[in-house]
Structure formats: C-alpha cells, structure tokens
Amino acid sequence: MLLIKLKSEFKNKLKNSVKMSLLIGAFSLFSHVSQAQSETEVKVQEPLSGFLNMEFGTSLTSVKTVAESLGQKTLELDKGLQYTALVTSRDVGWSISTVSYIFPGHEKLGLVIEHYPDLLTDGILVKELTEKYGKPLGEKATGEIFEQIKGDLSKDLQRVTVWADKEDGHDRFVRVLYFGKYVSVEYLDATLMEQLES
C-alpha cells in the first residue's frame, strides 16, 4: 500500500513538473533576459544542450542506452497520453538522485528532472552549474519566473535559480528549485515541450 502511495505521489510531482515546464515555454522569458543582461551579464559558458551526454531531441532508445552505460538503473517507464517518461536512479557520489527523462509526443527528449530527495541546500548544485554555465539570470527575471510558477508547485518552494540560452531557435533553460527539504534540477527545451500544449 505504501509503495502504491509513493508511486502515486511521484507521478503527481512529475505531472506538476511537466505542467510547470509548459508555463515557462509560454512565458516570453527572453525579453526578460535581454532586460536583465546589463544587470547580470547573462552569457552561458556552455550551451544548454541537454543532460550529461544526452542532447535535447534524442530518442528514448538512445537515452536509455546512454543512461545505462553511465550506470543509471531504470526504475520505471511511464507512458502518459502526451508524453513518455523514463525514470532512473543516479549515484552522484554524495547522493542518489532520481532522474526523469520526459519525451513530449513520445519521441524526442525535451525535459530532464533530477530530484534530490534529502538535499537540504541548493548551494552545491548552484555552484556546480554556475561553474559550467556561468552566472544565472538576475534577480528581476528570476523573481518573475518564481511568481509565475509557484502556484503550480508545492507551497514549500523557497527559491528558484535559472540559466537561459537560445540555440538554433530553441529556448532552453536549467532551473534549480529549492524546497527546503529537497531540491530538483530541471533541464528544459521549451520549444520541444510546446508539443504538449497542442
């Protein structure tokens, strides 16, 4: 019974994360990025092209093969009406995370959600991502994003840190969501995720 309950709670969190990701796709964020650039000098050091060795747009079969080669264990393959989610576990050394690879329209990787269930601070992740992608968005743009998404997430959401990039006509983001008792990191191709809205 507990396993069924946990599975149900996980699926609800996953659906809320997918729903929230659609909000960011509808949100004309790059107008805010350009306004904030003078304030924060937003410029990613590396393109936001995907997660680990898996680029956005990669097929489910390829993602599964690469994830397994990296030592990730498949926990579940969830097929929704508009998307498929491959759920794995990943040992990052100091924690075991749950990674959800979301394929809108069941075809191309559009969103990756890495969930750290017992992480009490987002500092280590923000530092790691800042070293990789450069400075995150400034306070104004981040505040607007926080206000937009907080109603669709747990009331425990305390802080959001966002990196944004545009490549080949695709709006892409990395977001660290800090909930006090756990942290989630989302890697998102908003252009691909828009398929879920149609």
Tens of pLDDT, residues 81-96: 889 999 999 999 889 9
Report DSSP letters for 11-25, one per residue. HHHHHHHHHHHHHHH
Share the mean pLDDT of the chain. 81
Tell me the two tokens of residue 73.
């264990």
Rounded to an integer, the average pLDDT of 69-87 is: 93
- Which has the higher per-residue pLDDT, 10 or 97? 97
Rounded to an integer, the average pLDDT of 67-93 is: 93
- Which has the higher per-residue pLDDT, 3 or 139? 139
Please tell me the least confidently modeled range out of 28-42, 109-123, 164-178: 28-42
pTM of the entire structure?
A: 0.80
Residue 41: the pLDDT is 42
Residue 16: the pLDDT is 54
Decide if pLDDT at 74 tops 70.
Answer: yes
Domain containing residue 99? 2-196
Domain count, the chain: 1
- Please provide the distance, in angstroms rounded to a whole number, between the alpha carbons at the two ends of the chain: 36
Contact 183, 162 (CB under 8 A): no
Contact 119, 102 (CB under 8 A): no
- Which has the higher per-residue pLDDT, 153 or 114? 114
